[in-house]
Amino acid sequence: MPRSVPSDRDHKRGILLTFGPESRNLMPTVDRVRDLQPINLAGALGAAESASIECLTVYIPSKDKAGNDFDQTPWIAEALALLSQIGGGATVLPPAEGAWLNPETGTLIREHVVLIYTYVDPYRFGALLGRIRGFMHRLGRETGQGEVVLEFAGRLYKIRHFDCV
């Protein structure tokens, strides 16, 4: 049975941190793996629930496919509200400088992309999947994008054909 809090003896021998009662996800940094004792990190930290491991990130562009600026503000607000419903909260990162190559013109479009992310609750995520799709397709269509993207579980999903109204 994993312990919640490491003892002084554990510090001398080494411990194997886990994310839940049965998890053994983190690799130890000591040579003697068989001597490591797993602990429950969530319990040791006093976390209210087990850790969410799947991250959903929405990328909000600042320019259309022709390189024209548009106001990101309403899109950021809507994405923040939607992702907060999915994970119980969401974070907006400061704009990051990015670039992409317009395949139609060969022009390099530089822009300031805003990333919004949440760690998902799987039940809420499944229930709100249609709203996520609707938001992403509307973002692409109404802001004149050639492509919009979101990232989930380490995969980048590119949407190039947008649903009609």
Residue span of the structural domain in which 21 resides: 8-45
Do residue 71 and residue 15 come from a single domain? no
pLDDT digits (tens, 9 = 90+) for 22-48: 545 455 554 555 666 778 877 888 887
Lowest mean pLDDT segment, chosen from 28-32, 109-113, 153-157: 28-32
DSSP-derived letter for residue 13 is: H
Do residue 31 and residue 103 come from a single domain? no
pLDDT score for 29:
53
DSSP string, 25-83: -SPPSSS-GGG-EEEEHHHHHT-SSPPP--EEEEEE-SB-TTS-B---HHHHHHHHHHH
Do residue 85 and residue 39 come from a single domain? no
Q: What is the mean predicted confidence (pLDDT) over 102-118?
A: 94
Domain annotation covers residue 137: yes
pLDDT score for 2:
46
CB 57 within 8 A of CB 150: yes
Q: First vs last Cα of the chain: how many Å apart? A: 55
pLDDT digits (tens, 9 = 90+) for 112-128: 999 999 999 999 999 99
